Amino acid sequence: MTDGKPALRVALLGCGVVGSQVVRLLGEQADDLAARIGAPLELAGVAVRRLGRRRDTEIDPALLTTDAEGLVTRDDVDIVVEVIGGIEPARSLILAAMSRGKSVVTANKALLAEDGATIHAAARENGADLYFEASVAGAIPLLRPLRESMAGDHVHRVLGIVNGTTNYILDKMDSTGASFTDALEEAQALGYAEADPTADVEGFDAAAKAAILAGIAFHSRVTAADVHREGITEITATDVASAKGMGYVIKLLAICARSDDGGSIGVRVHPAMIPRTHPLAGVREAYNAVFVEAQSAGRLMFYGAGAGGAPTASAVLGDIVAVARNRIAKTRGPEESTYADLKVHPMGDTITRYHVSLDVADKPGVLAKVAEVFSTHDVSIQTVRQEGRGDDAQLVLVTHRANDAALSATIEDLQDLDIVRAVASVMRVEGDDTP
């Protein structure tokens, strides 16, 4: 089937959770891959940090090297797969590979979100392919559909759950009533959360993915620094229970949306309450799901495993096949598209809704004073109810849509009211069509 075509030679950088599964699949599926590509794939070498380490997959020791730079610049390498992660040395290695015309496949969201401009420019200047499906939502085909299948449509909004670890934690808190700390420990015991869980629980991982998604969806350059980011560490069991009581569930969402006038985009990652009837509410455990809303396509939903060695390697393998086919056809995949050049507007200009719980004194006139603060900022209240009485009273308010800046100024003023003992919780509400 491959007509004796010479093999395409693959250099793998990094052999951890994802890399070891890439090695396994390249071996196990060699015949099918060759048939699909029209030429066999051959592993030219695997760059690792330490030679002697025990690995999940058996690798011919002769393929291992600690000289990643030497490997990517070898003449007999056609395709470089970067699954080391982080900014350096990943960036220098990718640039070195591209400068020699090699095709690059990477899963590195951190690098693409921080300095995608440099990597994409190098791909363009050297006529090299750059594929990165695994960088966002692991196995779920999402970037290729956005870059290619939807290239003829006009995307309004991308909204989703793009971090499995935090979804697992929030799901446990919701289903068992666990505290954040207990749910995090469970996620760590199961291998979802890393020993240092900061990138996940503080929303950095999701923010990098949001930047990549927004850039592709809106044909603009978006970096991690442009993304408004809030993590889930402050969410309490009480927040989760009270959301549940009102028919909501708390999820960490990534939201990339055009402004109402279409002149700018908002890109944000933060926890939000969504109705339990919303399709994203049913995304349990460590799964990911992303909605794309486009002018002609309408609403599309992408769902599946956003992390894990084998699922992520599936996306990497798909990219390897794509770049291999391109090499054989002497063509290239699509370049980065940033022609629309939309700017990211500040979070304060984003239109959101708030759910607010206030510990208040239960006496006449309190509600009127609270309502006055909202009206001063032109924020309209949708519902208000009181829970408890006397010294234990709580006012729970849900607003209509307003500027996030007006909503957060309202909260600041409420904090200063002497009748408000504490602002017990503030959470944005998403996913219902309330104006």
Ligand X SMILES: N[C@@H](CCO)C(=O)O
Ligand Y SMILES: NC(=O)c1ccc[n+]([C@@H]2O[C@H](COP(=O)([O-])OP(=O)(O)OC[C@H]3O[C@@H](n4cnc5c(N)ncnc54)[C@H](O)[C@@H]3O)[C@@H](O)[C@H]2O)c1
Annotated binding-site members for NADPH? 109
Selected catalytic residue, list 209, 251, 330, 363: 209
Please select the residue that binds Na ion; options are 25, 137, 290, 414, rule is CB under 5 A: 137
Q: Is the bond leading into 89 cis (omega within 30 degrees of zero)?
A: yes
Please select the residue that binds ligand X; options are 116, 145, 164, 203, rule is CB under 6 A: 164
State the Cα–Cα distance between residues 314 and 322, nearest whole angstrom.
12
Distance of CA 216 to the CA centre of its chain: 13
C-alpha to C-alpha distances, 183 to 61, 197, 282, nearest whole angstrom = 40, 12, 18
Task: Please state the closest distance from residue 134 (CB atom) to ligand Y, in A.
Answer: 5
**Considering beta carbons, is residue 190 or 422 the nearer one to ligand X?**
190
Q: Are 219 and 337 in contact (CB under 8 A)?
A: yes
**Considering beta carbons, is residue 194 or 372 the nearer one to ligand Y?**
194
Q: Tell whether residue 163 is a contact of ligand X (CB under 6 A).
A: yes
Q: Give every CB contact of residue 134 below 8 A, 6+ residues apart in sequence.
A: 18, 83, 106, 107, 312, 313, 315, 316, 319
**Considering beta carbons, is residue 133 or 336 the nearer one to Na ion?**
133
Task: Please give the DSSP secondary-structure letter assigned to residue 225.
Answer: G
CA dihedral 67, 313, 90, 68 (to 10 degrees): 10
**Considering beta carbons, is residue 40 or 215 the nearer one to ligand X?**
215
3-state secondary structure of 358: strand
Touching ligand Y, residues 267-326 (CB under 6 A): 307-308, 312
DSSP labels, 278-299:
SGGGG--TTEEEEEEEETTTEE
DSSP labels, 286-352:
TEEEEEEEETTTEEEEEEEE--SHHHHHHHHHHHHHHHHHHHHTT---PPP--TT-PEEPPGGGSEE
**Considering beta carbons, is residue 46 or 347 the nearer one to ligand Y?**
46
Whether residue 209 lies in the annotated active site: yes
Q: Tell whether residue 307 is a contact of ligand X (CB under 6 A).
A: yes
**Considering beta carbons, is residue 288 or 410 the nearer one to ligand Y?**
288
1 C-beta neighbours (distance < 10 Å), count: 11
What residue numbers does the annotated binding site for NADP(+) cover? 13-20
CA dihedral 181, 183, 185, 189 (to 10 degrees): 180
State the Cα–Cα distance between residues 354 and 324, nearest whole angstrom.
49
- Give the interface segment with ligand X, choosing from 30-38, 148-156, 162-170, 361-369 (CB under 6 A): 162-170
Q: Tell whether residue 133 is a contact of Na ion (CB under 5 A).
A: yes
Task: Please state the closest distance from residue 101 (CB atom) to Na ion, in A.
Answer: 26
State the Cα–Cα distance between residues 298 and 375, nearest whole angstrom.
36
Please select the residue that binds ligand X; options are 82, 205, 226, 239, rule is CB under 6 A: 205
Site string for ligand Y, 137-156 (x = CB under 6 A): -x------------------
- Residues near ligand X (CB under 6 A), total: 7
Q: Tell whether residue 48 is a contact of ligand Y (CB under 6 A).
A: yes
- What are phi and psi for residue 347, nearest 5 degrees? -55, -35
Q: Tell whether residue 333 is a contact of ligand Y (CB under 6 A).
A: no
- Give the interface segment with ligand X, choosing from 160-168, 331-339, 389-397, 415-423 (CB under 6 A): 160-168
Task: Please state the closest distance from residue 195 (CB atom) to ligand X, in A.
Answer: 13
Q: Tell whether residue 289 is a contact of Na ion (CB under 5 A).
A: no
- Give the interface segment with ligand X, choosing from 163-171, 229-237, 337-345, 426-434 (CB under 6 A): 163-171
State the Cα–Cα distance between residues 204 and 316, nearest whole angstrom.
22
Please select the residue that binds ligand Y; options are 49, 154, 299, 385, rule is CB under 6 A: 49
**Considering beta carbons, is residue 68 or 373 the nearer one to ligand Y?**
68
- Give the interface segment with Na ion, choosing from 44-52, 142-150, 366-374, 378-386 (CB under 5 A): 142-150
State the Cα–Cα distance between residues 359 and 396, nearest whole angstrom.
9
- Residues near Na ion (CB under 5 A), total: 5
Please select the residue that binds ligand X; options are 306, 309, 311, 333, rule is CB under 6 A: 306
Q: Pick from ligand Y, ligand X, Na ion, none: which does 200 bind, CB < 5 to 8 A by kind?
A: ligand X
Residue ranges binding ligand X (CB under 6 A): 163-165, 200, 205, 306-307
Catalytically active residues are 209
